Structure 1
Amino acid sequence: MTVLAGAEPFSHTGSTEVGILLCHGFTGTPASMRPWAEHLAEAGFTVRCPLLPGHGTTWQEMNRTEWPDWYGHVRTELESLLETCETVFVAGLSMGGTLSLRLAQEFGDRIAGIVLVNPSVMTLRWDAKLLPLLSKVLASAAAVGNDIAKPGEKELAYPRTPVRAAASLSKLWKLVRDDLPKVTQPLLLLHSVVDHVVEPKNSAIVLAGVSSTDVTEVLLENSFHVATQDNDAPLIFERSTEFFKATRLAGQVDAG
């Protein structure tokens, strides 16, 4: 299957001291994370942003994948980083945040900290409850991509939402919500005040559910859902870089 131009994975090998795994969103691609990834690479970190299975090709192809496929892929990338880098962080946008939380729940303190941008763990949409039924009779629905406030900016995402894949995502949401208390790592959560895809309640649920004691919440006042490509992108890049450096330093002090 041919990968869309611009949807290719991002990989940069920098310092072995810090490795960062970036996870993109549902129906999206690493293109939404590339500016962030490049910023982190310039800061000297080792950075990986894989293309999730079923993404970056066609929505029909994505309907042939389920959440264990997406999670298994980022899990493999994480294990590789853990083998080569002293300190490893995970960060994600939207469903990438969901996957990041699941990794945090499974790997515990092997992950030094997590950064979430508009993470999704549920939806208030009335038709979401019908997804198991709809997925059997409806192949696709209206697109969820490209929610960006910045003029002229466009997300590389599917023009339709694959319904069977969406139904699988809802199963992952429940698992992640149920296990939120297992998240203990330092957490930086940045979320948009106005988001037409992932309701702000998602961030509230995450903040209320995790067991992390080192938690920072940042409001993004000038961006919609795809904030990594929006007006607040520089803020995300700056705050996350500071978070990675400070958390790494704190870990060294504790170890000493």
Structure 2
Amino acid sequence: MLERYPILSGAESFFFKGNHIGILISHGFIGTPQSVQFLGEYIASQGYTVYAVRLKGHGTHYEDMERCTYHDWVQSLEEGYRFLQQHCQDIFILGQSMGGTLTMQLASKYPKIKGVMLINAAMTTIPVMEEFKHKQEPRFIDEGAPDIKTDDVFEITYTKAPIRSIQQLLALMDDTRRKLTSVTCPKLAFRSEDDHVVPPENTDYILAHIHSGIKETITLYNSYHVASMDYEKKFIAEQCCLFIEKYARKQRRAEIS
């Protein structure tokens, strides 16, 4: 799918070359890599290789997004995974919101993924979108301010969301739920207690249905939905690094023995 509009300034993908452990990061619905940039920069500062993809149709214009299917978004993340494989031996994936949904798609397909980290992942229901599931009009709906508790950040995002794209997100969630039992790698999930977009029950569902032997959950008490840009962003980054260090080493020891 060729995009018709240029990439917005600051919405580009980013890559930091570090050691042999790679972290693939996915932003969420109508977002851009800018929303996960703090996490990426912090993780990279600890020596890891980091690549944050820009999902197709994102970071340009909502008319580009309207032309995408969820398969395009899955492909975007999969291309990022293949890119990191050229640089790294071990790969973890970190996904925010719809990025978490896409993360579980890849984890169900690639058992070599060392672990996944989810931030308010969408999997079962997004109440603000459900009413548009079977509608055809209006073509676009207005987007409100991003669900962020702090007021000192700006997220690059669209002012409108295509109805068709909302339906593709809901279809992605339906498809991903059927694949959760194939996920076996270690998992760390962050869930905001106050999330006005994706209810915390989405995370509970994921935990109940994946077949991972390791499931860690951390509740965030001072962040809303876009937690990667909120008050606890540094805490999230620190916990992700601890998770990566722990399970990259543990799996390497298991392989050696």
Q: TM-score range by the shorter chain?
A: over 0.9
| 1:123 counterpart residue number | 125
Q: Which runs of 5+ in 1 are unaligned?
A: none
| 1:186 counterpart residue number | 186
- Of 20, 26, 29, the match for 2:23: 20
Task: Report which of the two has the higher share of helix.
Answer: 1
* Letter aligned with residue 231 of structure 1: Y
CA distance in 1, matches of 2:70, 2:119: 19
Contact 1:149 1:222 in 2 (8 A): yes
CA distance in 1, matches of 2:129, 2:150: 29
Change (3 A) 1:6 1:141: same
Q: Following superposition of structure 1 onto structure 2, how do residues 16-165 of structure 1 map, counting pairs within 5 Å?
A: 17-108=20-111, 110-125=112-127, 128=130, 130-131=132-133, 133-134=134-135, 136-143=136-143, 146-165=146-165
**Could you report, residue by residue, the CA deviation over 1:138-167 in whole angstroms, capped at 9, with x for unpaired residues?**
211232661100122222111112110111
**Could you report, residue by residue, the CA deviation over 1:117-141 in whole angstroms, capped at 9, with x for unpaired residues?**
000012252862642x31x332112
Change (3 A) 1:163 1:152: same
Deviation at 1:80, TM superposition (A): 2.1
Contact 1:181 1:210 in 2 (8 A): yes
CA distance in 2, matches of 1:105, 1:81: 18
| 1:4 counterpart residue number | 8
Any idea what SS the aligned residue of 1:231 has? coil
Any idea what SS the aligned residue of 1:33 has? helix
Contact 2:117 2:188 in 1 (8 A): yes
Root mean square deviation of aligned Cα: 1.4
Moved over 4 A (4+): none
| 1:168 counterpart residue number | 168
- Greater CA deviation, 91-100 or 56-65? 56-65
**Could you report, residue by residue, the CA deviation over 1:155-208 in whole angstroms, capped at 9, with x for unpaired residues?**
211111211011111111011111111111000001100001111111111111
Any idea what SS the aligned residue of 2:141 has? strand
CA distance in 2, matches of 1:235, 1:71: 28
CA distance in 1, matches of 2:128, 2:121: 19
Deviation at 1:226, TM superposition (A): 0.5
- Please report the TM-score for the alignment, with normalisation by the length of structure 2: 0.94
- Greater CA deviation, 59-68 or 221-230? 59-68
Deviation at 1:82, TM superposition (A): 2.1
**Could you report, residue by residue, the CA deviation over 1:28-48 in whole angstroms, capped at 9, with x for unpaired residues?**
000001010101111111111
Change (3 A) 1:91 1:220: same
Any idea what SS the aligned residue of 2:86 has? helix
Contact 2:148 2:223 in 1 (8 A): yes
CA distance in 1, matches of 2:13, 2:128: 34
CA distance in 1, matches of 2:129, 2:21: 42
Paired residues in the alignment total 252
- Greater CA deviation, 143-152 or 30-39? 143-152
